[in-house]
Structure 1
């Protein structure tokens, strides 16, 4: 009887996912992203990673038996898909598995920023009940700009419609079935938005897409929210805009150099930072686990991998 395929996990995984993998595979668990020694590396047939950790060509080369790379989640921007294709390595991901959770988180950040949940709680803790009861903006009837009208963007838009928000969006091209108005210019979208939410792909094409010009266009009553990738926002531009009072605040689930957060960013009470958890919920983890197991099973049984993003 042949040995179970060896799977290398380069990211932290929920216990239930690890337990499920270990039932059918030999698992090397390296949540720090390191590769095993030569003996182990030479027999690895599958890698589990994510969009942030990825897998570059050099590390693929160190895994001569590699057949499939699975991203635990929808993102795979730091997986070298072209290098994988040259070696006929399958790259799979799990699109849509955490989209609803990310959309909820984005909306939570918008509400928390507009209504001032964090600074108001701090004010009450310091005995400033009466002094902190100024009127604050709300989402009802406000203008929402969405960067990226994919699965997550559409779910954010659906939630916004429940608040009677007007919707605009920016992306590579308009979608005939998308809600709201398409803006080819991100600066123009920002200028018409009270809330600007990044829900786009990461990678070189969107690096620093939100720059100082976009933030200035958003204006002193506008909030920027990022549930995409940290690289989408130019951190220095954001700090400069906050210092100059050019925007009202920011809600960030991702940071350019995470987990290292600039202390200056945390000094602003109008900035909320969560530790890259927008896509994490029991439901999303379950869906991501099932997608991962399905992709591995399909591959090792010689079937078409339904969620493959590169040629087999």
Structure 2
């Protein structure tokens, strides 16, 4: 077990190293010189050359990559060309919005999809199956940003119950900040809940035909006990995989919803850095997204060992 975890962890570090190299190389190929963008087109060549030297942009690619990687490993992500502040502080500030938003969205998605998918599988042909099918089809078909606009029209414009956008900050109070994230979380959760409902239904249906489920029924256990004690726990592996994928998507892919609600999140920071050619911010944000995906996959793999005794015996 320890050897397996060590191999997985070393594989994680190696993957992060390769990804960081690819990110740095791709960012270096993007058009636009950060020094020229900072100084403008009317600056003198001498001033431009001095700034490029100060930023280290005149050094070879491998040296710049090594310096950047050493900074990332030490926690120094560099300084933003546009904002003139440490990138680590920018990411932490924006993550304080995006991370709670993603957590709220994934919890809402699981709370809707798991019961609906399980009931649809265990009561085929019932009203639950019909509702699950309709819900999954409709929620997947509706884009998250369009759901966000509908929520604003209904709950903000017509009813006046929720703020239409903006984020007051956690220092202004927990409830106002939480209220500002409710509608964005619902908009993000709906499409993910539709996908997760389908995955949960399929996983439970497949597990219901396993030998252990029929054995449990033959021993006289009630249908409810067999479902929730035996079938659902053994159907969790594909469900957990999908939850892990959805969480990383919600953190990295919430930029449209963040723009609709004017939320200062991490996705919006990446979009702003791209438009301003703030290369150092783009590199660090993309690396953070990639690291999040890799680490989340590692955590999901560990969860397999926790919930499935067969996998623990295999290793």
Shorter-chain TM-score bucket reads under 0.3
Larger radius of gyration: 2
TM-score of the pair, normalised by structure 1: 0.27
TM-score of the pair, normalised by structure 2: 0.27
> Which structure shows the higher strand fraction?
1
> Which structure shows the higher helix fraction?
2
